A and B are shown apart, each in its own frame.
Chain A
Amino acid sequence: MALAGIQIYKLLPQTNCKECGFPTCLAFAMKLAAKQVELDACPYVTEDSKKQLAESAMPPIRLVTLKGKAGEARAGNEVVLFRHEKKFFNRPGIFIRVADTAADEEIAVTVGAASSYAVDYVGMKLGLDGFAVEAASGDKARLAAVVGAVRAATGLPLILVGRDPEVLAAGLEKLPGEAPLLMGADGSNWEAVADLALKHGAALGLSGASLEELAEMAVKAQEKGVEDLVLHPAAEGLGASLALNTQIRRLALKNFRPLGYPTISFTSGGGPAGRDAVAAAQAVCKYAGFVVLDRFAPELVYPLLVLRENIYTDPQKPIQVQPAIYEINNPGPAAPVLVTTNFSITYFSVANEVEGAGLPAWLVVTDAEGMSVLTAWAAGKFDAASIAKAVKGFGVAAKVDQKLIVIPGHTAVLSGELEEELPDWTIRVGPREAVDLPRYMKEVLV
C-alpha cells in the first residue's frame, strides 16, 4: 500500500538538512508520497527505511514494455480504478490485426496506411502503436514471410498471434533484439509458448475464460521465470468482458500478484456495423493495456485515439477549455467583446450567464493555464499582455465594428496597461461576478 506523507516522514532522518533539495524532510516525504521524486535523493535514509519504502512503492500492476525495431508500447503501472482518484498512466497501445492468410498486397496496403497514419488532435499528433500478426495459416514459412514484410514496412512493436509454438518461433526469428508479445498461450499449450518467450525475451500473453485459469497460468509462468505477462480475459459480450476486466483490475490493486499484469482486448470485426468501435471504446475506458482492432479505418481509429487521449488526461490538472474566441447567441459586429480565462468553471459561469440572458457577445478566452481570473491574475498569467495577445491572435478586430472590450471587475487595475497594449480599443471594466454580467450588459454597456 502506498504510504501517506506523514508515514513516510517517520521513516526519514527528520533533520531538515535540505540536501535533497526540499526545505524540510516532510516536504520531501510528501513528494515521495506523490511519486514525484526518488528516495535516492536523501543521502541519510537508513537501509531499513529504504526497504519499507520500496515495498510500498512497488506497482500493483507490472509495467510491460513491447519493443519493436523503432518504438515501444508500454502498459501497466496503473494504480487506480477510477481516473479521478489519481490518473491513468499508460495509454493502451492500439494495434491492427493482420492475418497471414491475407494476400500480400492487402497486407501491404493495410500496414502501409496504418503505420503511417497520423492525425492532429488539439495540436498533438496521434497514431497507432503496432500490428498483431496472426498465424492463421498455421504455416511457419508463411508467418515468417508476413512478419518479415510487416517488419520491412514499419518498425512499430508487434504482437504474434498463434497457438503453435513452432510457427510462432518462425515469426520470432524475424524479430531479433525485439520484445514482441506472444499471444495464444492457453491452458493446453502455455508451457511451450512460455519457453519460447523466455528464450526470446518476449512478453507472454495468457488467454483464459476465468480468473482462476488466468491466475493459475500466471503463477506457473512466473515460476518458470517469465516476468512480462499480459492477460487476455476471453469473454463473449461486452458485459462479461467489462466484469472480467474490472475484477482483474480490482484484484491487482488489492495486491493480488497473480493478476497484477496488464490485459489485452481483441475486437472482432464481425457483427453489426459499429460494434467493433463500441467494444474497443469499452476496452480503452475499462482497463485494457493493449487493444487489437480487426481492421484499419480512419473513421474508426480517429475517435478511438481521441477517446484514449481524453480518458488518459491528467484529471488533477485544472479543467481547461480551449483558449479561443467563443460566439454566444450568434453575435454580430455590434456585439461586445468579453474577456475571461480558460478555467472551465470560469468559462462556464460567464458563458452561461450571458447565454442564459439571451445577449449576443464575443467571449475571448485567454490561455491562463486553466486558472480562474483571480488566481491567474495573482500569478501573473492573466495580464494586459496575455489579453492583448489573445485579442490579436484570435483576430477579434476583424469581427467587430466597435472596438470595445470588457475585462473582469476583479482585474480593474489592468485597464491602464491594456489601453497601452491595445491602443485602438476602448477598455471597460465589467462586474466582478459573472452573475452581474447580464445586468451590466443591459444597463451599463449600451
Chain B
Amino acid sequence: MSEGREIPVAVYAAQFDSLAEPVAVDAGELIVDAARRGGVQIQQPCGGQGRCGRCAVRVESGRVRRRSLLRLSPTDLAAGYALACQTVVEGDIAIVVPPPERIERRLTTDHVAPEVAVPEGYDAGRSQSVRRVVLRLVPPSMDDQRDDWARLETTLRRAAGVERLQASLEQVRGLGAVLRASGWEVAVTFDTGREQDDAARLIRVQGAAEAAGRPLCGLAVDIGTTTVTAWLADLATGRVLQQAAEYNQQISRGEDVISRIIYAGKGAGGAELRDLVLDTINGLVAAACGQAGVDPDDVVKATVSGNSTMMHLLLGIPPESIRREPFVTAMNHLPLLRAGEVGIAMHSDGVVDPLPGVASYVGADITAGALAAGLHAAPQTTLFIDVGTNGETVLGSAEWLVACACSAGPAFEGAGIEHGMRADRGAIEEVWIDGRTYEPTCRVIGRARARGICGSGLISLVAEMFLTGILDKAGRIDATLGTPRVRTGPHGAEYVVAWAGETESGEDVVITTVDIDNLVRAKAAIYAGFTVLADATGVSLDSVDRILIGGSFGKYINVEKAIEIGLFPDKPWDRFDYLGNTSVRGAYLALLDREARAEIARIASAMTYIELSADNSFYEAFTSALFLPHTDLSRFPSVAAATTNGG
C-alpha cells in the first residue's frame, strides 16, 4: 500500500443487545472482534476455530457472511444464529448474545440417558411376583383343630389362589406368635416365583395393623467390576424411590475380573471378596433406604445383575473355571435365593433373584442390558456397546443375537486413572481446548470445583488434546509446544487440566501419558470387540441401523468426542442412543415384571457367545485401533476432515 493513500473502508455499526451504543466495525471484521472491542463477553472454548459452536449468537438484522455452518442446524440458521468467530460483518447489524447455558444446551452433541420411568401400564397385580394380602383367619377352636400352617395355607388359597406355599423352619417357629398377637388378622407377603406353577415362597407374616401403610419395596442391583449400583423401588407403584452407586470395594483386591478370580482362589480370598461386595451393596441399601425413609425389612425382593464373575463372587461360588480353558461357569441360570443366605441386608426371608448369564464373559449384566435396550425386540440390526471394564458388545435383532467381551479396563469408569473419579459432583465431564493457547475450558458436574475427571471427561479431554495437536496419533504428548500446561511428571509427560487454585483438593488435576495409554487401550479393546463381532457374523457395520450405548458415564456421553478418539464407529450422531446403566435398568424391569424376567432368560438362552481369543482377528483389530482415531483413517471420515481442516 502506497504511503499517504487510504483505501476507503466501509464502516458499519454493530448493535449488541447488552450495549447501549453500537460498536463501529470495519468491513470484513468478525463478530467476535467487534464484541471484544465493545466489551461484550463471548465464550470461545476452542479458541475461535469454529469447532465448538459455543460462540453462537443471533443476528437479528443486517448482513453477515458465515464462513462456517458447523454446528448450526437449518432451524438455527432460520433463527439467525451464526458463529461469532466465523462470521464476517457486511453491513449494519443487530446481535443478541444468548446466555452461555442456553447455547450449551442447544448445541450439545451429548447424548443424555433417559430418565427412569415406570414401565407403561405397570400393574403390580398382574406383573409383580411379590404379593401381600391381608387375611382374616378363623381362630382355632375345639371344633376346628387344624394346625396354624394349614389354617394360613387354606385361607391364602381361597383368598389369593395360592396352591402351594413354602416356608422355612424359622418362619414356622415364629408363625404361632404372630397369628395370636395379631388377633388372627395378618398381612402375608409371598413371592409367586418365576413360572406359573412354581410354589409360592412365604416371605413374611405380620399383623395386619402393623403392615398397614407400610410400603412393599424391591431392589435392583447391578454389580459392576468397578461400580455397584442399586435402585430402590416401590413394588406397588413401580416407582424408583432412590438410586445409589459406589465403587465396588473389591477393587482393592484387583481391578479386573481375572485378578479377582485369582484372588478368590487363594485361602480365604473368595470369602473376603464376598464380604467386600456385600459391604458395598449393603452400604448402598442402607443409604438408599435411609434417604427414602424405608425400613430395610420392607425390602422383600431383589433382582441382581452383574457379570458372571461378580455373580459367582457374590454367591460364594468358586469362579476359577471361568478363566481357564474351556472357560465355563458353575451355573448360568441360578435359582431363586433367600436374602438371608445371600447376605443382602434387606428382609432376611426376602427373595433374591440372580439374573441369568450366557457364558463366562457374557453375564447377566448383558442379558439384562439387552432387555433394557430392547435388542430382543429390535426389528433391525442393532449394535449394543456396554462401555465398561469388560467391554461387552451385543449385535443382533429379534432374530438373532451375538455377544462378545474384551477386557477394556476400568478407565471409562474413571478408575485406574491418576485423577480419575466416578461421574459425580466435582467431576470434569467435558473439556474444550483452545488450539492456539492450549488452554482448556471445563464443565464440572454440579458446577463445583474440580475434584477429578470422569469417564466422559476423559474421552472429551483426549479428543480435544488430539484435535489441537497436543497428542500425536500414537497418543504421545508433544513436549515442544511451549505451554506450561504440558510438563514432565513422575510418569513422563503430562497435561494440566486444572490448576491447584481451581480444584477442590488444592492440587493440580492432570492427565498423564499413562492415563492416555490406558484410555487408548480401553477404547481400542472396545472398538476391536464390536468390529470383530461384526466380521465374525458377516455383518457390515454399515448395515447397523442403531447403536445403543450403555455405561456408567453418568448422565451424558458426548458421541462426537467418542468418535474422535475412535471408541465408536463413525456414524451419524443421531444413530446413537445413550441408555446409561442398562444392567441395572434391566434388573429393575425384571424386578417389576415377571414377564420381563422370563424374557431375560430367553435372551440368555438364545444369545450366541463369540470367543474373541479363538484366533488372531481380535489382536489384529486391537493393534489397528491402538491409534487416534484408528490406523485406518478411512474408517473415520469425519475425524479425518476435522484433523485436516482444523489442524
Contact = CB atoms under 8 A, between A and B. Distances in A.
Direct contact of A and B (CB under 8 A): yes
A27 interface: yes
A4 B538 contact: yes
A118 interface: no
B437 interface: no
A352 B152 CA distance: 77
A5 B538 CA distance: 6
Given A24-B606, A24-B608, A318-B619, A30 B537 contact: yes
B5 interface: no
A371 B613 CA distance: 9
B324 A380 contact: yes
A389 to B, nearest CB: 18
A378 B608 contact: no
Given A6-B537, A6-B539, A380-B324, A30 B258 contact: no
A388 to B, nearest CB: 17
B331 interface: no
B488 interface: no
Interface string A1-39: 000111101000010100000011011001001000000
Contacts of B607: 24
A377 B615 CA distance: 18
B402 interface: yes
A377 B613 CA distance: 13
A16 B323 CA distance: 26
Interface centre among B323, B324, B400 (most CB of A within 10 A): B400
A9 B263 CA distance: 40
Contact of A317 (B537, B538, B616): B616
A5 B259 contact: no
Interface in B333-377: none
A316 interface: yes
Nearest to A5: B537
Given A318-B616, A379-B325, A16 B538 contact: no
A375 B323 CA distance: 10
A413 interface: yes
A315 interface: yes
B536 interface: yes
Interface in B393-423: 399-400, 402, 407
A296 B256 CA distance: 58
Contacts of A371: 613
Interface centre among B325, B407, B517, B538 (most CB of A within 10 A): B538
A6 B258 contact: no
A408 to B, nearest CB: 14
Contacts of A5: 536-538
Interface string A58-98: 00000000000000000000000000000000000000000
B107 interface: no
A324 to B, nearest CB: 22
A345 to B, nearest CB: 8
Interface string A30-51: 1001000000000000000000
B262 interface: yes
Given A16-B606, A24-B606, A26-B608, A378 B537 contact: no
Interface in A341-397: 345, 371, 374-375, 377-380
Contacts of A26: 400, 402, 537, 608
A187 to B, nearest CB: 44
Contacts of A378: 258, 323, 407
Given A6-B400, A9-B400, A413-B259, A30 B536 contact: yes
Contacts of B538: 4-7, 33
A381 to B, nearest CB: 8
Nearest to A318: B616
Given A6-B538, A7-B538, A413-B259, A375 B613 contact: yes
Contacts of A24: 605-608
B610 interface: yes
B616 A30 contact: no
Contacts of B323: 378-380
Contact of B608 (A27, A315, A317): A27
Interface centre among A14, A318, A378, A413 (most CB of B within 10 A): A378
14 contacts: A4-B537, A6-B400, A14-B399, A23-B609, A26-B608, A27-B609, A315-B616, A316-B617, A317-B616, A318-B616, A319-B616, A374-B258, A379-B324, A413-B262
Interface of B: 254, 258-259, 262-263, 323-325, 399-400, 402, 407, 517, 536-539, 605-610, 613, 615-617, 619, 623
Task: Please list the 5 inter-chain residue pairs (A to B) with the smallest Cβ-Cβ separation, ordered nearest first.
Answer: A4-B538, A26-B608, A378-B258, A316-B615, A24-B608
Given A30-B536, A371-B613, 8 more contacts: A4-B537, A4-B538, A9-B400, A24-B607, A26-B400, A26-B402, A30-B537, A379-B324
